[in-house]
Structure formats: C-alpha cells, structure tokens
Structure 1
C-alpha cells in the first residue's frame, strides 16, 4: 500500500479512530525538489582580476575554468562591489551590499544600518530558498559574512553558514587564512587540518575533497536529490601559497613585466571578443613604476611574486577541475548550473613593492626591499604571507584602470562564467549585457523554476534587488535588463545608467595624483567639493575601459547621474559616506558579552578571533596563567594570539617561562625567565607597560616594558622599542596551544601545554604589579 503524504500545516488526510486497526495513517511530506531539477554550483574566486583567467586572455593556465567557459558563456560586463564581504553578501541574497549591512568587510563595520555587518534575516540567502525546495546545501571555504565578534564559541550561530540555510559547512569564517596551516571550522566547531604542510596538506585540495565527500554522502542515499554547492576557495587572496613546483612552472613567464603582460592580455581579449574590437587599453597607472625603470633585483623579485601567484591560480583551477570531474563521473555535470565569479578586482594589498607578509599592509609597516628579496626562494611556502606588488594588480585587471576597493572598472568588473549543458545551448560564447552580482540569485531561481519566497522561517522577505539575466543566456542580442546600478566602497563612488558611468574617486584617480593615501575620512566640506568637481563621466557603451572623461561636455547628464546616485543611496542605506579604513578597523564595536576589563580563558576551547578578543595593543595589560607543573617539568603554550605573520605567545619551553611579541614577522621582542619553573602550582604572569606613544603612521605600536612574574615575584624584564600598531591578521587567540601557523618558530604546532592549565586571565584595567626593589635590581643587572 502506498504512503499517503500531506503538506505540513494542512489538514491531516488520514483517519484517526479509537484504535490503530480502524485508523488510516498519513505522513508529512518531506521537502522534495522537482524531479530532474538541476544542481547549482557557484564558485567564488577571491581577488582574481578580469585579466587573470586563461579564457579572459591571460597566459595563466586555467584549463578547467576554460572548460566551463567552452560549455557555456562568458560575460564581459559583470560587476561586483569592489570588496569581498559586500560582494559575497550580494551573491547569496540578491540584494545590494549596503542593504545587507555590508558596506565593507565585516572588520570595518560601524554603527549605521548599511554598515553594521549583520545581514538582515529578511534578506534571505539562496541556500535558505533552495533548502526549502528539497536541495542539499553545502558551503565550502571562505564565509566572511558575520561580524568578527560573532566568530566565537559563544555565537550567536544564526548567521554562521548552518544558520543561513547551509546544511554542511567546511572552511574558514574570516577574510583570509594560511593555505598551509589554516584556521578551520567544520559545521559549528573548530577543527585542525587533517595533515601538516610537511605531509603535503594544502587548503584548496582539502576543500575540494570535502566538496566531493559532501555530494557523495547525499547522492549514495538519494541519487535524485539536487545540491547547491557554494565553493569559495581562499584563492587567489593573499597569502599566495602554493607548492613550489606549480610556481616553478611559470619560471621566466613574466620577466618582460607588467606593461608587456597588459599588452599581451589585451590583444588576446580583443581576439577572444571579451573586449570590443575598438576598445582602448587604459593608461599607465601613476602609482605603478615603469618596468624598465626598475633595478635587476626588483624585476627578479617581482617576477617571482607573479610566478607564485600564477601557480596558485593554476593550482586552484586544478582542484576545481577535480570537483567537475567527480560530477562528470557520477553523471551530474550536464545537469549542473555552474556559475564562476570573482568577488572583486585584483588586490593592491601587497603595496607598491609587494610583501612577504600582508599583515604589514594592515599595520602601515612595509618591509625593506632587501628583506623581501632575501625571501625570494621561500615565497609561496608556509613561512610567509606573501602578496605581489601594485604593478601586477593593475595588470591583473587588464584592460581596466585601478583595482580592488575602488569603483573604477578595475575594482568592479570581473570574470563571470555560466554553463549548464543540459539547459543552455550556447557553447563558448560571450555575453555583453550589463549585469551585477545581485542578479545571480534571481537568475538561478528562474533557471531552476522557483519563485522568490515571500517568507523564510516566518520572516517576511524583502524584494530582490537583482533582475534575472536568464534571457541573455539563450540570446546574445537580448537587451540588458539592468539599467541602473550604484557603487560605493570606502568613499569611492560610481553610478551606471544606460551605457554611461559616473565615477567619484576617493582620495583621487590615483594616490600619486591625489597626494593622499588610501583610507582617510571624508568631511562634509570635502564631500561637497567632491560633488561639485570630483565626478568623472565615461560613456562606457563606447569607452569600454573608462579612458575618456567627458564630464565637461555633458554637465547636465553628470548632474542627473549624481542625483541618481543620491537617490539610490537613500534607497539602499548607503549614507553616511565614509572614506576611512583604519579608523573603522580600530573603532569600538559591540561584543557578544557585556564590556569588561578581565577575560578568562580555558584550555582545549575554541579560538577567539581578533575582534572578539581583548584589545591588548598599545595599552597596559597583564596575562596571568594558573598552572600546575608536574615533577619532571612541563612545556607548551599558555596563551597566544596571531600567527607567524605577527602576534604574541606566552609559553614554557625548556622549563623556562617566555613571552615573545612577533612584530609583523620582521622582529621578535622577547623576555624569558632565567631559571626553570619548579614543580607545583604557580601563578605565571606577563605584564606590558607602555613607555611611549604609538606611531601608527609609521607602523609602530607603543614601546613598552615586558615583565615576567612567578608567584608575584619579578623574574625578568626587557624593553621593546615598539610593538604591533593596529591589528594581528590573522589574529585568533588560543588558550593552551598554538594551532596552525605558530607565532614563533621556537616550537612546533600545536605545542599544547603538557602540565595542568586551569585558567589564563587577561586584564586590561591597567592595574600592574609595582615592585620597586625588584625593578631596581633588574635595572642594575642590565648595566
């Protein structure tokens, strides 16, 4: 006898009698997708520019993404927000980034509706919609869609992937992580990588493994159930980490420099039809030196940095190919909608000269060129957090000007590939219709035959801001349905309407021309001046790469577009305009817990992200561990924060107590006890007392006195000339171990404390031990 099923919430269709033999059962029907519904695979690359994929004209080998392009279409006019968290929120909600509370990355959240980093529940995720229609939903890789203070064991978990419609998650919650020694989360709990870098581990391979496993787990039980896989590798965001052989495969490939790269890629883009035949390559960027003006050593280093990036991208493509191969092997690839996009243009976070440690960028502390050159043979390996220089950023966005964080097309125009062999007839074609990533959700829903939900889990849904471009997949001559789109990122603004684009750069068209660095705030007076004379106008319908500013000849049109920008800004919570960066990062933000000066941590617990941890930089503080040392001694980490890119570690090794401050991977400032800590229960304490003011502009945090105490007695002290200025990035705090990329090379990960560690307390009250006699002894001993 067949089962009777009914929709939950409707009248029970069975019969309920006094006994089972006179009753008829019926069952609530499980959510099932329509038979034959396509799978949905969305691949989000990170910091990959318009001119960096093979199928977009690059010499970098991306055969698997090229394979997707050959099976479908490439868009030449897809746009993003110019930054990762905002773009990722658009991709998953179909709403504009300020309406998602994602004006910038979550670390730069501020207390305004468009800026607070909390995506409203009325802006439902694609995963939530598809899950309600019987899809398996998997999130793999980078999330970066919750306030950093919520990435903790205290939650709240309602904005983690499993709280937003994903049934399984494996990846990392923040903006970046080491590819060799990543900070990993599995569903709602922290895990360690299954292998070490020395054993051949790499994050991208691990993410591909989990993608295949998750799909196989469900398909072996219910072969007809479709899936949505949101695959978000950390590539090609810094650190550019890749096995050496992949980078070596590009030896010499970029020796002609970034100018030659642009010319080569641009010619290929014209040949491929990715850019119009009459397009012009954008100007040489004033912030980028001419390749020929560099020294031999500079060219050698910068070429190697690009070789490492290219190997990283090809390596990523290889593992995307593994997922595609698996889908093909189980007969699912032809009925899978594949969308591939980058979250923004190529990144300039490596600075003018590139870096072996991206954390130096965030702390205003660029390393001397000689230090970078000395590490040339180790670039891409686990010891560094490397990123290439501005020249390769600019080249990576060929043919456009500028880069990530800015709303010129170099920041907002990205590769976008769509394929669905069973549902889209086009093969290897190019689409020129204007589109924005908010259009991805309505397009997917149209393709799978699902209406946007009116409610999700009882929450009334806001209207989608995106419009479907499904019609253009079948018809290359179809009209663009998106006619208007605003842009704002860190005070850099733009507006598109019907083939025209107005841009108001901040601080200017380039740093050199503005004579001002990125990240300064905008005053009301400055905003008025910008609106009066700072807007540029481009007729992008005929000026593909924004080369000809025609504002002077089209004043009325420009004024109308500026007015449209403000109308859109009012509609989507864009105001207030804020050009600041560091000020946003260091501003006070709400924590899950009430404000306090004392924090207590326990071993074997989940790590705490930087923005939820005690803010110890540039202020007096103490760290006190309550430990028991067994006979024979103990060693291990008591408390640490950060990675080899920068941070601090408080630990025992060789019986002695140590504190080390890693200043952006350039210098180690340490203090150590002269004697071993004896067996028994002890209070081990570190204190930092600032002795001067920080010099933030120079990348140097407050100098200060480092002191170690054992049971209240001062046993060692030293003075650090400076400390970290702004942020540890990555900056997770861990009690009782140093998992992943260790703060110092003195010990191997995770270096768990082998004695008994009861608690570690961090005190920010400023109350420090005063022991004048001991301090005098220490001072005399240093003479």
Structure 2
C-alpha cells in the first residue's frame, strides 16, 4: 500500500500547528487507474488515543456560600453527588463578571488579553476592552474540534460583540465561529427564563407555546438530545459539550412549584444565614476551622433593623432565588445522569464551574423588579417592589433580590459580583469528576486556581498539544495552568504563584499566599464620579492564615503592600488592563462610547417587510432624541389589532400598536413607570398611514417628551412621557415589526400579538 499524508496522528503527540495539513495521495499515479497504486481517501481527524468526553457546565451569578455543596442554604443534591465522586476546589477564582469570566474560560487567557476586560456591552475600544476575542486566542472548542472532537455549546453566549448578534452576523465571533459545531442558546447577558430569544446555530428559534416552558429545562433537553445523537452516530468520537444555563442570573424566574418548596425557609434573614453558613462550611471542611466571618459592609442594613414589610418582601425574594438555584441543580443533574449512563462514562470528564462570578448585587439595596434599573444608573424603592411581590418570579418582571442576600450568598467573604478585589466577587466552587483520571474522589483540593486553568486542564486530559499557530495565526500563550497535577496528589504544591484581578478599577493581586486588594467602588455606588487612582488604598491579607480576607494587615506589612502594588501595575501593562476606566452606566451607551453599531451614522431606516428579532445593538437608537415611526398599512374592514413596532420588552422600551381599534404608544421606563397614550379617534380601515412622533425635551439624558399620533396625516392623539430610558432598554430583547417576538413592553397585551393587517413599509426617522 502507498503512503498517504495523514490528517492527524491517531495517538500520541498532537500538532502545535492547526489545522493539520491537507491530505495528498503519495502513491504511484499512472495513465489509468489500472496502472496506478490503489486509491486511498482522506481520513477524518482522529483524536488522541484515550481522549475523554468532556462536559463543561457553568452556572451564572453564584456565591461561594449559596449551595449546600459549600455549606449554603440552597439544596444541591446533584452537585453534592458529583463532588463526592470527584474533586471540589475551594480556592478557585473567576473574574467577578460574566463576559470576562466566560472569555477566560474558553480561551485560557486573561480576559483583558482577549479583549473582554468588561461586559461586551461596555467595551471602549482599547485592546483590553474591544469586546472581540482575537484570532490569536483560539478557543478550547476550536482546538478540540480540529483534534477530532464533536463540539456543542448550549445556553448563554455573552462574548459575541453586540453589533454582531443579528441574524446577518458576521458569525466569526458566534460559537459556531469559535469551533463549536452546534449552538443552541442566547447571545446576551441574560434572558427571560419563560420567553427567551433563542438561536439554533444562526437561526432564531420560534417562541414556545408550552405554558410550562422553562429555559433551563429546554437547554438540558437539547444537551441530552445532542449527546445521545452524537454517541449514536459516532460512538468512538469524543464530545465536548459546553452547557451554560442562564441560572442563576436575573431575572429570577423558577417554576412556581419550586418556589412553593422554600416558603418560610429564609425568614431568619441574611445576618443569621451568614452565621449558619459559616458554621456548616467549617463542619464540612470547606473552610479552615479558624476562618472568621467578614463584617457586613456599612451600607447594607442589619436584618433586624428592617421594617416588617421589608423582611416579608426580602425573604420572599430569597425563596424565589433559592428555588431558581435548586431547579438549575436538578436540570443540570439530568444531563449529568445521562452522561453517567453512557458506555464510556468512566472516560468522561465533567467540569462544573459553579458560577462565573460571585452572587450579584445588581438588585440594589431594596431589590428590584427590573435589573435594567441599575444598568441605567438608578435605584428602586423597596415599597414599589412590595406592591407587586406576588408577581415576582413570573413573566411580568425581571426581578432581582437585594444586595443583603447577594452578600450573604458569598459567605464568608467580603462583597459581591463586580468586586474583583475581594473573594466575594471572584471565589466560586469548582467540581471536576473523571473516573478514568481521578483515582479517589470525594476530596477537597486547596490549590489556588483560576478560570484560565480550565482550558489547559481539558487539553491536558485529552492529550492535545496547546497550539502555537491556529488557522494561520500565531497564538498568544495561555495564562492558565493545567490542574491535572492536583488530581491524584492532594498535597501537591501550588503551581500558580500569582494572579492579577481587575474589573471597573477594583483591583487585586495574589502572590504566594498574600492578597493585596484595592476597592475603588462597591455595588452600592450606582453613580460614579472622577477617581484619583493614587488615593485609593490597598489592603493586605495573608490568606494562608486568613481564608476569608477578614483581617487587613496592610499597616503591619507596608513593604509587602508596595511590592504587590508594583507587581499589579507590571502585570496590568502586559495584560492590556490599561487604561483604567471607572465609568459605569454611561459605558452602556453606544453613542457615548462610539462602539460599532449597524445603525450608526444613519438617520432613516426603511423596512419593507415585517422584520423581527433585530437586537438593540443593531437597531436605530431611540434614546435621548426626537424620532418618528411611520407605518404604511392595510387595515382590514373589521378593524386592526396587534403590534406595529416595538423595541425592548418587559425591562424597558417602546411599543406602537393597535388595540380595540385605537392607536397606542407605550413606553416602559425600566419597570418603574409605564406610559400608555391612546388615540382619541379610531384607526380607519383600508390603506392607512399610521405614525407617531416623539418630541424629546432635551437638556440631558433620560428626559421626557411629547408623543403625537397620526392617521393619514391627521392627528388622532397626544400625550406626555415624563421620563425616558437613558442608556439601555434590554440585554436580550429585540426590535420587532408586525409582532412582539419577546416579552411585552406593556402588560395590556400578550405576545406575539401579531398585527392582523398588513404592513407594506415601516420607516424610523431619527432627529
């Protein structure tokens, strides 16, 4: 037989250059096939011998002291079982926010190195904040795919730049462009759990008509189905599945039956919860016996100081949150059970990252009905939340619990999500289970580790070489360190000697048992002013002796503080962290930051057919300006009904529709106020041009204005809107024409609320 250039080696050392060379026939070729050597075909790339299946699960906005896995009060029997079979890491760290952690997870590099030092929606264009993962940082999915793996991504994708999330792409920075052959999920920070905007590969998924639909269940179903299909078709081909449900990020929307299970279980309040959790953590050996409970920050009220109605409301919000987490544990458990029943289950590695950051304080002091309130730089009075307490957890609100509970979920540490300087923002549990590679499970591993370590750990287990060149592009070295050295040696000395942290100028630096922390802003500071970096103090903790960062010893070791601060600046310069930027809500504005936008620079937008599913980042920006929406329609003789134009959803936005023969303009001011202006006259039938003009008052951001409605050029209604949304309507909702494909802007109708007439053309004009 003639030699043939192989697509890839069948085992042993894999290539540091991807893709593998194209196949070429190297035998004799004569004038006819009879005079030639027997033909050979190009062979599929084969993975290294013994390469395991990999299931990577990442939850969202989870605190270290949340689940009973690590001593918390939220049941997690499936996590508990997995940790008993595998290993639990109690000194594992994330970046304190969604996009950065997820970028670091899939690339093995520091989030700033790969352009994701902050949320994709807050990018500024500097190298560390472009919101674009560069080609020099091939993902773990791409590397495994080119080494013979079947790859799939299900759930949250919060790393595609917002201006590339529409159905016309480009798709280079979607999961399918990062080496994942199948994608089923959402491209956003968060999503309604009951009425999500989903994509299958590049195509929007129709909304479910099932009244009991839940996103976490749907994702689990699709994951199980894909795994079974992959093993039925190619049983010898290993899979890599990345499963990232929206839980437990806002909106907190678990099934009602789950909420009912936790009634009364959090009446003790957040202060007592923290004490109880630390006691359980010590009993379980999750934390050292000398661990002290950190002090509750001054801005968070003591539970006993709250009014009775506040206690009732906040306990209820925690019940909803607990149900949300417990339900997620159940659904992820279904996927784990399915994997455990596979013929090659023993050679399946399950990596379970229990949160991409600490529990979230984005509900503010008193909780909120809408997380976008904080995004737009405002806070909500708890009394307003109390009025709709019985609706929380359902389809009407994007509800989020108060900061007191978020802080408690991060027991025993200081602070919460967004605070990269302290472990409350960055310390998350990690479980790794791999029967073929881990000899003895049920143990805790204390080595200091980081989310960048996950990619090299997976490649190490798969016997895949970390590539130096992928698709013709030289690769940035990995920042992560494989954790395989800890699998069968509980006392292995740490291989990670230092780690830098930064998010919204909250800074931290770890080195050999010491942690220096510099807190510039905490989540209670919604509005941020100018900062003099040189005046922000550094704290110092000996975390070998002080597990929880309870005792600041900066005054006792001033030279160590100086040394670590200098190390932070050194690493910041080499990791694209600079320039530091303390701005908050204003970074969500495309106009203020100059971020790319498919709508940028245009004043007139013409849609000749009912287009639905256009993300806010690709739609006309209606904020802080006057504008006109005009629809050329055909109204049936028995009258019109339905949505003409909407942008946003139950978090915030606009609606322009016909209801019971009247023209309506609605504006949802981040669920704090809802304006609904109804025409005085009815909408005519036949060919009708319907329009509304919003005349913005001006004088700053988020001001009010006057709405005037017209039918065939004749005014049929007018009204005032006193407040408008200044920065952002939504994370996942869209602009729709002819129906509402997501959640409703106004609770007087139910999506899809399709327009029963015909829209020949719709025009949006910005002024």
TM-score w.r.t. the length of structure 2 is 0.94
The alignment partner of 2:315 has SS state of: helix
Structure 2: runs of 5 or more not aligned = 8-20
Question: 1:780 — aligned with what?
Answer: none
Question: 1:774 — aligned with what?
Answer: none
Question: 2:428 — aligned with what?
Answer: 414
Deviates more, 1:441-450 or 1:86-95: 441-450
- Distance in 1 (alpha carbons) for counterparts of 2:527 and 2:546: 29
Question: 1:684 — aligned with what?
Answer: 690
Question: 2:699 — aligned with what?
Answer: 693
2:311 is aligned with 1:305: no
Question: 2:661 — aligned with what?
Answer: 655
2:325 is aligned with 1:316: no
The alignment partner of 1:309 has SS state of: helix
2:617 is aligned with 1:605: no
- Distance in 2 (alpha carbons) for counterparts of 1:435 and 1:602: 54
2:284 is aligned with 1:284: no
- Distance in 2 (alpha carbons) for counterparts of 1:347 and 1:169: 27
1:344-385 CA deviation, whole Å, 9 max, x = no partner?
Answer: 000001110111222222234433323212222222111121
Question: 2:271 — aligned with what?
Answer: 259
2:643 is aligned with 1:637: yes
- Distance in 1 (alpha carbons) for counterparts of 2:345 and 2:332: 13
Question: Are the counterparts in 1 of residues 516 and 539 from structure 2 also a CA contact under 8 Å?
Answer: yes
- Distance in 2 (alpha carbons) for counterparts of 1:14 and 1:761: 64
Question: 1:455 — aligned with what?
Answer: 469
The alignment partner of 1:204 has SS state of: helix
Q: 1:740 to 1:228 in 2, by over 3 A?
A: same
1:582-617 CA deviation, whole Å, 9 max, x = no partner?
Answer: 121122311246621112235453522222222212
Question: 1:514 — aligned with what?
Answer: none
Correspondence for 2:52 among 25, 30, 38: 38
Correspondence for 1:240 among 239, 252, 261: 252
Question: Are the counterparts in 2 of residues 36 and 224 from structure 1 also a CA contact under 8 Å?
Answer: no
Question: 1:577 — aligned with what?
Answer: 580
The alignment partner of 2:129 has SS state of: coil
2:112 is aligned with 1:109: no
Question: Are the counterparts in 2 of residues 507 and 518 from structure 1 also a CA contact under 8 Å?
Answer: no
Correspondence for 2:564 among 557, 561, 564: 561
Correspondence for 2:762 among 754, 760, 763: 760
Deviates more, 1:15-24 or 1:537-546: 15-24
The alignment partner of 1:761 has SS state of: strand
Which structure 2 residues correspond to residues 669-680 of structure 1 after superposition, within 5 A? 669-680=675-686
Correspondence for 2:509 among 495, 502, 514: 495
2:553 is aligned with 1:550: yes
Correspondence for 1:734 among 733, 736, 741: 736
Stretches (4+) displaced over 4 A: 1-5
Question: 1:746 — aligned with what?
Answer: 748
- Distance in 2 (alpha carbons) for counterparts of 1:285 and 1:594: 42
Q: 1:157 to 1:519 in 2, by over 3 A?
A: farther
Question: 2:490 — aligned with what?
Answer: 476
Q: Give the deviation of 1:16 after TM superposition.
A: 2.9
- Distance in 2 (alpha carbons) for counterparts of 1:626 and 1:175: 35
Question: Are the counterparts in 1 of residues 598 and 617 from structure 2 also a CA contact under 8 Å?
Answer: no
- Distance in 1 (alpha carbons) for counterparts of 2:238 and 2:706: 60
- Distance in 1 (alpha carbons) for counterparts of 2:669 and 2:600: 30
Question: Are the counterparts in 2 of residues 52 and 58 from structure 1 also a CA contact under 8 Å?
Answer: yes
1:558-587 CA deviation, whole Å, 9 max, x = no partner?
Answer: 111111011101111000011111121122
Correspondence for 2:108 among 75, 84, 94: 94
Q: Give the deviation of 1:754 after TM superposition.
A: 2.2
The alignment partner of 1:758 has SS state of: strand
Question: Are the counterparts in 1 of residues 23 and 42 from structure 2 also a CA contact under 8 Å?
Answer: no
Correspondence for 1:520 among 523, 528, 546: 528
Question: 1:769 — aligned with what?
Answer: none
Q: 1:401 to 1:281 in 2, by over 3 A?
A: same
Q: 1:456 to 1:384 in 2, by over 3 A?
A: same
Q: Give the deviation of 1:522 after TM superposition.
A: 4.3
Correspondence for 1:178 among 192, 199, 203: 192
Correspondence for 1:59 among 70, 73, 80: 73
Which structure 2 residues correspond to residues 76-475 of structure 1 after superposition, within 5 A? 76-196=90-210, 199-341=211-353, 342-407=355-420, 408-475=422-489
Question: Are the counterparts in 1 of residues 366 and 381 from structure 2 also a CA contact under 8 Å?
Answer: no
Q: Give the deviation of 1:660 after TM superposition.
A: 0.9
Structure 1: runs of 5 or more not aligned = 512-516, 767-783
Question: Are the counterparts in 1 of residues 94 and 356 from structure 2 also a CA contact under 8 Å?
Answer: yes
Q: 1:331 to 1:376 in 2, by over 3 A?
A: farther
Question: Are the counterparts in 2 of residues 283 and 547 from structure 1 also a CA contact under 8 Å?
Answer: yes
Aligned-residue CA RMSD (Å): 1.9
Deviates more, 1:400-409 or 1:448-457: 448-457
Question: 1:622 — aligned with what?
Answer: 628
Question: 1:16 — aligned with what?
Answer: 29
- Distance in 1 (alpha carbons) for counterparts of 2:224 and 2:134: 31
Q: 1:414 to 1:522 in 2, by over 3 A?
A: farther
Deviates more, 1:125-134 or 1:726-735: 726-735
1:377-408 CA deviation, whole Å, 9 max, x = no partner?
Answer: 22211112111111111110001000000121
Counting matched residue pairs gives 747
